[in-house]
A = this chain, B = another copy of it.
Amino acid sequence: MSKELATRAEDYSKWYNDLVVKADLADHSAVRGCMVIKPYGYGIWEKMQHALDKMFKDTGHVNAYFPLFIPKSFFSKEASHVDGFAKECAVVTHYRLKNDANGGGIVVDNDAKLEEELIVRPTSETIIWNTYKGWIQSYRDLPILVNQWANVVRWEMRTRLFLRTAEFLWQEGHTAHATAEEAIEETKKMLDVYADFVENWMAVPVIKGVKTANERFAGALDTYCIEALMQDGKALQAGTSHFLGQNFAKAFDVKFATKEGNQDFVWATSWGVSTRLMGALVMSHSDDNGLVLPPKLAPHQVVIVPIYKGDEGLKKVSETALQIVAKLKAKGITVKYDDRDTQRPGWKFAEYELKGVPVRVAIGERDLANGTVEVARRDTLSKETVKADGIENYIEQLLNDIQSNLYKIALERRAAMTHEANSYDEFKKLLDEKGGFIYAHWDGTSETEEKIKEETKATIRCIPLNNKQEAGKCIYSGKPSTQRVIFARAY
């Protein structure tokens, strides 16, 4: 198959978009800003969901489902929340269509106007805290540790497949606690879960940190985040976990009887990751030949391609191939045997390279005689001839190696793309010439942060957790600073 991908060096942005479409991950839909997630892409998302869902349950959470629609008045109850979301939401105003009496086709029926408009959820804090009011009376009802897998809509003006779409899929955890300490602990615990998932499943190293006031979630007291670095030197926020204090409990009047018999407002957290992770996955590992998938998330970890002449040749090769398939499956490895006779081996090789299958096994008639197979790994593009006997153990180890190798390469790249800047000039030069994460002193004010953003498009990605304390001067204002924060241009 012909790839016709742009290269990363030529046009990183076009390369990304080409790759997402041509590797069958997703495509633009007829609806502005909304994507279609194609089966191959959805297969990866299912693996992500499965792994995350297990981690959530292992940490005591359960799933539930809340309405898609949020009454407009609910939004107004938490002031900073509505400020954050009102400008980009889909509004349902009517509940019926009709045939136009004047022959104008199907039109909105103006007799079916809602008394109160409904907002398609951009996030569910308001509807959930309105519900929690009915669930919580006493400290015995706490904590509530609930997660929801759902679609949400934010009316983004500039959209990019997976990275920024009007509708996206995500999970949103919403927990309720009796004390601030417990809620903060939960917030940090879920940040750790996210970091664990992104590093150990996606093979993408992240920095855990806390957002500045400017970059906080609308309605949060603190937003914790994990930040990853893409190949082009731009940062990507991969997940956030918010300590919401008592803001939503106050907005929805959710109080509980404490052990001591007093009434107090409930403490809240929320945390989420979305199909945006798919974008991070693509941009972290892939190359000019196509996708590179970490084995733990690849829909097919191994593909076997027979090389043969005629039906008799295929029959012989298939016998060995199917034995290997069975042995791999017995080890829990997902394997596809592609014996289609409609495509040639070379076409198949290119296709699986494009689709990022971690390990490709080719078996030819000559291999049968020699008792060998050819094993190619997608990450290094290297090939080896390996004994067929015991191949399942070899491949099992190889998959582990590929998973580690992808992480190692990403970590080394991040190290190479991380710099310190000690003056604003140096900062701007680094940004333009090297990109990446830039550690620099900042005076702690929103004004400085905004000025730097205006002038350079770089934002403070986070203040790393357990950050080294170090006296210095703000690169912009020259005012004293006690620590460096991480700046970057970001997705």
Whether the pair B97, A89 counts as a contact (CB closer than 8 A) is yes
In the complex, chain B residues whose CB is within 8 Å of the CB of A37: 64-65
State A369–B454 Cα separation when bound (angstroms): 77
Q: Interface size for chain A: under 10, 10 to 19, 20 to 34, or 35 or more residues? A: 35 or more
Chain A, 69-113, contact with B by CB distance < 8 Å: what is the 0/1 string? 111111110000010001111111111111100000110100000
State A69–B66 Cα separation when bound (angstroms): 19
> Which residue among A29, A98, A130 has the maximum number of chain B CB atoms within 10 Å of its CB?
A29
In the complex, chain B residues whose CB is within 8 Å of the CB of A91: 92-97, 108
Whether the pair B155, A95 counts as a contact (CB closer than 8 A) is yes
Whether the pair A87, B94 counts as a contact (CB closer than 8 A) is no
Chain A, 37-68, contact with B by CB distance < 8 Å: what is the 0/1 string? 11100110110000000000000001111111
* Nearest-CB residue, chain B, relative to A53: B46
Whether the pair B63, A39 counts as a contact (CB closer than 8 A) is yes
Chain A, 107-143, contact with B by CB distance < 8 Å: what is the 0/1 string? 0100000000111100000010011001000001000
Shortest CB distance A415–B (Å): 36
Whether the pair B127, A29 counts as a contact (CB closer than 8 A) is yes
A69: contacting residue among B34, B64, B117, CB under 8 A = B34
State A95–B130 Cα separation when bound (angstroms): 24
State A249–B253 Cα separation when bound (angstroms): 52
State A62–B37 Cα separation when bound (angstroms): 12
Whether the pair B90, A62 counts as a contact (CB closer than 8 A) is no
Whether the pair B69, A97 counts as a contact (CB closer than 8 A) is no
Whether the pair A36, B63 counts as a contact (CB closer than 8 A) is no
State A120–B91 Cα separation when bound (angstroms): 11
Closest 9 CB pairs of A and B: A34-B67, A86-B97, A39-B62, A37-B65, A91-B94, A95-B155, A31-B67, A93-B93, A76-B106
